């Protein structure tokens, strides 16, 4: 049986939002058309993917499994399309992703010097998409910060770097040479507590009555720094990211008792392109130097 990628895209759109109407709008198709396509997919797979009533749409166990498998399949298909399109245009391109604060210029320059006819591009990534851009082919290799979902990836460690607390310039802890995570127990963390489990273990606001104040969803370091400068809370960042975005209304202080951030290279484990291995060796040597 051949699975129709278009039907899979429709399924993922519904499964991620659990709402047929909104999914149809996002896909720019009529809701009855979307419903028919989902029913056709269920008939092809001979399973029920959704349970629907007047109040809610839920995934069945089969639907949950299909969602887990469909995402990487669709990403691989998109990566294939991108590579074939580049080949058809006759463009010889290698693209490197990098997280904020990381300097990739020496390795990129070295690859260009070895391959004068190669166009080497760079793409800035975020915590949200640093693995996604590898899976869908937007980059050939990425400088990533752990943790990431390693499924489908080869990951090569590059270096560790300390993490720092980013505070408003007038904060009571500003100017300290070093603090412990317990010093931040009464602070509001402007990021997912799972990213700093050591803070989560001591945080006062997670132990008091009532729900925790929700943290806004940030997609860039600049957004986090704006909220820190405004006095809305604090964040924990790798040292290089904090130093790269130096500004007068925030300061950073090393935190002694949390583990460092790990920087790695990552690429699609199914690809055997010699350039990937060559760039990984160049990047490792540049980092060591």
Indicate whether 254 and 269 sit together in one domain: no
Predicted pLDDT of residue 87: 66
Distance between CA atoms of residues 122 and 133, nearest Å: 12
- Mean pLDDT (whole number) for 198-215: 79
- Which tens digit of pLDDT belongs to each residue from 124-161? 999 889 999 999 889 999 999 998 999 899 999 999 99
Q: Are residues 268 and 235 in the same domain?
A: no
pLDDT-based confidence at residue 275 (cuts at 50, 70, 90): very high
Domain identity same for 61 and 199: no
Q: Are residues 194 and 281 in the same domain?
A: no
Residue 220 has pLDDT above 70, yes or no: yes
Looking at 13, 46, 73, the residue that finishes a domain is 73
Q: What is the pLDDT of residue 89?
A: 62
Look at the block and give the residue holding tokens 């990047």: 283
**Whether residue 268 has pLDDT greater than 80:** yes
Per-residue DSSP letters for 181-212?
Answer: GGGGTTSPBSS-GGG-HHHHHH-STTTSSSPP
Does 154 share its domain with 266? yes
95-99, 221-225, 251-255: least confidently modelled range: 221-225
The pLDDT-based confidence of 213 (bands split at 50, 70, 90) is: low
- Per-position DSSP letters for 224-271, written without gaps between them: HHHHHHTTS-BEEEEHHHHHHT--TTEEEEEBTTSPPEEEEEEEETT-
Q: Is the pLDDT of residue 214 over 90?
A: no
229 and 203 housed in the same domain: yes
Count CA atoms within 13 Å of residue 111 on its CB side.
Answer: 28
Q: Is the dihedral of CA 267, 6, 30, 37 positive or negative?
A: negative
Any idea what the CATH number is for the domain that residue 18 is in? 1.10.10.10
The CATH number covering residue 127 comes to: 3.40.190.10
Across the chain, what does the average pLDDT equal? Answer: 89
Tell me the residue range of the domain where 243 lies. 163-259
Query: Which string of b and e fits 139-171 if b means at least 16 CB within 10 Å?
Result: bbbbbbbeebeeeebbbeebeebebbbbbbeeb
**CB 245 within 8 Å of CB 236:** no
pLDDT digits (tens, 9 = 90+) for 34-50: 999 899 899 889 999 99
Q: How far apart are CA 271 and CA 255, in angstroms?
A: 39
Other beta carbons within 10 angstroms of residue 185's beta carbon come to 15
Which element (helix H / strand E) includes 119? strand 119-124
- Residue 206's pLDDT is 85
CA 276, CA 256: separation in Å to the nearest integer?
36
Give me the mean pLDDT over the 225-229 stretch: 95
pTM: 0.71
In-domain check, residue 189? yes
**Percentage of the chain modeled with pLDDT above 90:** 56
Comparing CA positions, the residue from 27, 288, 283, 262 lying closest to residue 147 is 262
- Count the domains in the chain: 3
Mean per-residue pLDDT for 103-110?
95
Within 10 Å of residue 43's Cβ, how many Cβ atoms? 9
Of 83, 265, 241, 234, the residue nearest 162 (C-alpha)? 241
Q: What is the mean predicted confidence (pLDDT) over 38-64?
A: 89
Q: What is the mean pLDDT of residues 99-113?
A: 94
Q: Are 174 and 245 members of one domain?
A: yes
First to last CA, the chain: 52
Q: Are residues 67 and 96 in the same domain?
A: no
Is 171 found in the same domain as 249?
yes
């Amino acid at each position: 049986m051949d699975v129709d990628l278009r039907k899979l895209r429709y399924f993922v759109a519904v499964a991620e939002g659990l709402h047929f109407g909104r999914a149809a709008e996002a896909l720019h198709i009529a809701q009855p058309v979307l419903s028919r396509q989902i029913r056709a997919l269920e008939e092809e797979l001979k399973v029920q993917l959704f349970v629907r009533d007047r109040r809610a749409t839920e995934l069945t166990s089969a639907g949950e499994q299909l969602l887990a498998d469909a995402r990487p399949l669709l990403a691989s298909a998109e990566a294939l399309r991108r590579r074939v399109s580049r080949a058809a245009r006759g463009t010889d391109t290698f693209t490197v992703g990098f997280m904020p604060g990381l300097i990739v210029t020496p390795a990129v320059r070295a690859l260009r010097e070895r391959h004068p006819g190669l166009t080497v591009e760079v793409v800035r990534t975020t915590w949200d998409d640093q693995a996604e851009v590898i899976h869908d082919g937007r980059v050939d290799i990425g400088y990533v910060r752990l943790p990431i979902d390693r499924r489908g990836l080869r990951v090569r460690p590059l270096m560790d770097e300390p993490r720092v607390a980013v505070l408003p310039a007038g904060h009571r802890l500003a100017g300290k040479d070093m603090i412990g995570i317990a010093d931040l127990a009464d602070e509001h963390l402007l990021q997912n507590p799972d990213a700093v489990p050591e803070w989560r273990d001591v945080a006062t606001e997670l132990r008091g009555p009532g729900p925790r104040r929700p943290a806004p969803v940030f997609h860039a370091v600049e957004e986090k720094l704006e909220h820190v400068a405004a006095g809305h809370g604090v964040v924990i960042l790798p040292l290089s990211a904090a130093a790269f975005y130096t500004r007068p209304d925030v300061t950073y202080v090393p935190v002694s008792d949390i583990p460092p951030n790990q920087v790695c290279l990552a690429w699609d484990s199914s690809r055997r392109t010699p350039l990937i291995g060559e760039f990984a060796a160049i990047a490792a040597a540049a980092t060591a130097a």
